[in-house]
Amino acid sequence: MQTTHKCTHCAKRHKEETQSEEFNFAVLVALVPLMVFTLFGQIGLF
């Protein structure tokens, strides 16, 4: 998304949103192995 103006409020909000998005992605990636082992354990593959 391109913005035509540069204001400090918008830049600060964008930075906070980016950091929040990165943290949420890191949590998701960290939980994937747990979900996989749980699923395979319930199926009986582990």
**In terms of DSSP H, where are the helices of the chain?**
8-43
Distance of CA 31 to the CA centre of its chain: 11
pLDDT tens for the chain, 46 residues long, are 565 678 888 989 999 999 899 999 999 999 999 999 999 999 988 6
What is the pLDDT at residue 46? 67
Contact 11, 3 (CB under 8 A): no
pTM of the entire predicted model: 0.59
Phi-psi region of 11 (alpha: psi -120 to 50; beta: other; left: phi over 0): alpha
